[in-house]
């Protein structure tokens, strides 16, 4: 059986249900997306094979090959969640919402998986509510502790969850943002949640939504850390196989479109009508079909060809092109499209841990965003397109000076 590029369709085993995974998109040899390199490190990069498939049985969309978690999440993991003012606000609002609902009883206990620099738990801490963040990446965990957040520097898994249950008692809420999709071993996560959560507790997690990724051709959401691309249908199936039920879904505008899923123990809550409504919408959009995913793969290759053609034309015309936002997502774009320092001179970014280093695989220099306005580039390729409003608002001088933004979501276009 061949895929949309006419290649034999490789198969794998589903990490959610054990069914057969059919590959639909091949993105080639890729580096670790968050490994920004010093010059000597460019000779010892870790590469893996990035390809995506969908399970025939439970529809879960997932990577065909797994990167060991210690390669990605370690002392120097450079992603700081508080780097965006809009995301800070999103997580203050999220914390207040949890504190006003699921964590509103006497002496509630809130656990977060992947608390990063404390962007969400900080507000829980300030409210004086018992909490614990799991965060295996050393420096970001340290930043959370500096914000007063109580952090356990381990991966969340069944064994560590059981230890917390024994020492701290049951949790009212287990929350995670942009983390559950990072964990191939979902068995261990769900068993850990089962062990830790009280009888009426909820497991709430939000991650990039497959429906939005297909609608926007945002293939840069596919990289080593994003092992799963969830949909309401695949999450409902996952929940059911661990004695949980998907009781609510909420679409979120952050990071290009996400869904917040709420799981409760089976039979404890009546599922909101919007669960069935979102699954019906997915059925109409054929989100879970191989035919739709094959069409997406064709769209992805078209965006790659268009973006390369534009950058090559600008190079011939002698224009200066830079990029903005050294995102993990951009590793997929630059490596899949073959965009190196010959096409994009440098990437501007606010993260000190990325500045002065080179982008993974393609070795484009990363510079402090403070230098962007003095650069007088003709074009800026917006890798952090999910933060477009925030970035364009603070970099208005760029367009006033005649600069133009290049975007590739939902298709390649220039905003002058």
The answer to whether residue 73 forms part of the interface with ligand SAH (CB under 6 A) is: yes
Q: Is 386 in the site for ligand TYD (CB under 6 A)?
A: yes
- Rule CB under 6 A: is residue 183 a binding residue for ligand SAH? yes
Site string for ligand SAH, 132-171 (x = CB under 6 A): --xxxx--x--------------xx---------------
Residue showing tokens 């510079």: 367
Task: Please report whether residue 234 would count as binding ligand TYD according to CB under 6 A.
Answer: no
Phi and psi for 78 in degrees, rounded to 5? -100, 5
CB-based contacts of 200, cutoff 8 Å, min separation 6:
172, 264, 265, 268
Among 183, 326, 339, 364, binds ligand TYD (CB under 6 A): 326
Is 59 a binding residue for ligand TYD by CB under 6 A? The answer is: no
CA dihedral 279, 284, 290, 292 (to 10 degrees): -120
Contact 383, 329 (CB under 8 A): yes
- Separation of alpha carbons 386 and 329, rounded Å: 10
Of 344-363, binders to ligand TYD (CB under 6 A) are 349-351, 354
Applying CB under 5 A, among 3, 4, 12, 17 the residue interacting with Zn ion is 17
CB of 387 to ligand TYD, least distance (A): 4
Binding-residue total with ligand SAH (CB under 6 A) = 20
Evaluate whether 319 touches 379 at the Cβ level (below 8 Å): yes
Q: Residue 179: which of ligand TYD, ligand SAH, Zn ion, none does it interact with, CB under 5 to 8 A by kind? A: ligand SAH
Of residues 38-57, which lie at the interface with Zn ion (CB under 5 A)? Answer: 55, 57
Closest CA to 76 of 128, 36, 109, 119: 36
Cα 160 to Cα 166, 173, 271: the distances in Å are 10, 16, 30
Specify whether the CB–CB gap between 243 and 194 falls below 8 A. yes
Residue in 14, 132, 213, 303 binding Zn ion, rule: CB under 5 A? 14
Decide: is 114 part of the binding site for ligand SAH (CB under 6 A): yes
Helix, strand, or coil here: 388?
helix
Tell whether residue 203 is a contact of ligand SAH (CB under 6 A): no
Is 84 a binder of ligand TYD (CB under 6 A)?
Answer: yes
Residues that bind ligand SAH (CB under 6 A): 73, 77, 79, 81, 113-114, 116, 119, 134-137, 140, 155-156, 177-179, 182-183
């Amino acid at each position: 059986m061949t895929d949309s590029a006419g290649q034999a369709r490789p198969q794998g085993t589903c990490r959610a249900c054990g069914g057969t995974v059919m590959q639909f998109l091949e993105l080639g040899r890729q580096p670790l997306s968050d490994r920004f390199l010093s010059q000597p490190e460019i000779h010892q990069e870790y590469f893996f094979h990035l390809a995506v498939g969908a399970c025939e049985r439970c529809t879960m969309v997932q990577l065909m090959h797994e990167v060991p978690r210690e390669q990605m999440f370690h002392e120097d993991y450079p992603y700081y969640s508080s780097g965006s003012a809009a995301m800070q606000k999103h997580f203050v609002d999220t914390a207040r919402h949890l504190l006003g609902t699921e964590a509103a009883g006497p002496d509630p206990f809130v656990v977060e998986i992947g608390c990063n620099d404390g962007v969400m738990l900080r507000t829980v801490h300030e409210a004086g509510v018992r909490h614990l963040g799991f965060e295996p990446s050393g420096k970001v965990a340290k930043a959370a502790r500096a914000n007063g957040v109580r952090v356990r520097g381990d991966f969340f898994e069944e064994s560590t969850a059981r230890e917390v249950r024994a020492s701290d008692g049951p949790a009212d809420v287990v929350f995670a943002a942009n983390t559950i999709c990072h964990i191939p071993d979902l068995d261990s996560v769900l068993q850990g949640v089962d062990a830790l959560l009280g009888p009426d507790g909820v497991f709430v997690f939000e991650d990039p939504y497959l429906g939005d990724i297909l609608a926007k051709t945002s293939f840069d959401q596919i990289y080593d850390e994003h092992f799963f691309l969830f949909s309401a249908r695949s999450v409902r199936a996952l929940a059911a196989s661990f004695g949980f039920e998907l009781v609510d879904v909420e679409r979120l505008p952050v990071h290009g479109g996400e869904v917040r899923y709420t799981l409760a123990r089976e039979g404890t809550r009546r599922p909101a009508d919007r669960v069935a409504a979102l699954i019906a919408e997915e059925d109409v959009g054929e989100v879970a079909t191989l035919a739709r995913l094959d069409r997406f793969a064709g769209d992805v290759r078209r965006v790659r060809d268009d973006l390369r053609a534009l950058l090559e034309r600008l190079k011939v015309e002698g224009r200066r092109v830079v990029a903005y936002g050294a995102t993990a997502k951009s590793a997929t774009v630059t490596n899949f499209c073959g965009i190196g320092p010959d096409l994009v001179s440098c990437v501007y970014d606010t993260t000190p841990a990325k500045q002065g280093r080179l982008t993974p695989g393609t070795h484009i220099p990363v510079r402090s965003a403070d230098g962007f306005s003095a650069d007088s580039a003709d074009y800026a390729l917006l890798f952090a397109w999910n933060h477009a409003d925030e970035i364009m608002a603070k970099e208005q001088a760029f367009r006033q000076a005649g600069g133009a933004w290049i975007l590739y979501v939902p298709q390649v276009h220039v905003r002058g």
